[in-house]
Amino acid sequence: MENRSTPLDRASVLRAGGIGVAALLAGSLTGGTASAAPERAREHPNVTLVRRYYQAYGTGDLDALRRFFAADIRWTIPGHHPLAGVKTGPDEVIAFFEQLGRSGFRAEILYLAADGDWVVDLHRGWSTTPAGLDITWALAYRIRDRKIAEAVNFAGDQHAADQYFWRHYPLARIPDRLEQD
């Protein structure tokens, strides 16, 4: 596997888009995961961090996630639906996860690998209440000082994600959805 000498920056990750982020990173990744315990002993520390984050996420204790987030975290959710957009700071990220919790979202890691400050994650993400969305997601995490400073999320099927979120997370009627002074 070829090793990139130049670390990736945020703009490169955002330009990659969709699952293409995995292809962009594939030639530069070191420290990928394996299921065997001896391989995990050599796991990149940022992969271990993201793996622990997923373990905490799986407990359903959203406050436990705060310890993984930098104070200025930026979490980008793609799409054209009510939950899409950039979440800034731990409170906004946790509020997003609270909304996902309404649909019983679950995640199963398929692949984790790291290069420098970046971790790429491919996972199966699905809803349980109600069921209806079950797709592959790619996330690019930027790690700073052993915390997640940024996450850029890419849906394997953005149209399916948009349709699901519009069906199950409708906006309030105008003027109720407008901010009041």
Number of CB atoms found within 10 A of residue 119's CB = 27
The H or E element spanning position 130 is none
The CATH T-level fold of domain 10-168 is Nuclear Transport Factor 2; Chain: A, (3.10.450)
Assess contact for 114 and 46: CB atoms under 8 A: yes
Single-letter code of the amino acid located at 146: R
Q: Which pTM value belongs to this model?
A: 0.76
Distances (CA, A) of 19 to 25, 62, 151, 155: 10, 27, 14, 7
75-96 average pLDDT score: 96
**Segment 98-155, tens digit of pLDDT:** 999 999 999 999 999 999 999 999 999 999 999 999 999 999 999 999 999 999 999 9
H helices of 42-174, in order, are 45-59, 89-101, 158-168
Q: Residue 45: which of 121, 146, 144 has the closest Cα?
A: 146
76-99 average pLDDT score: 96
Assess contact for 75 and 153: CB atoms under 8 A: yes
How do beta strands 106-115 and 118-126 pair?
antiparallel
Question: To the nearest whole number, what is the mean pLDDT of the chain?
Answer: 84
Assess contact for 22 and 139: CB atoms under 8 A: no
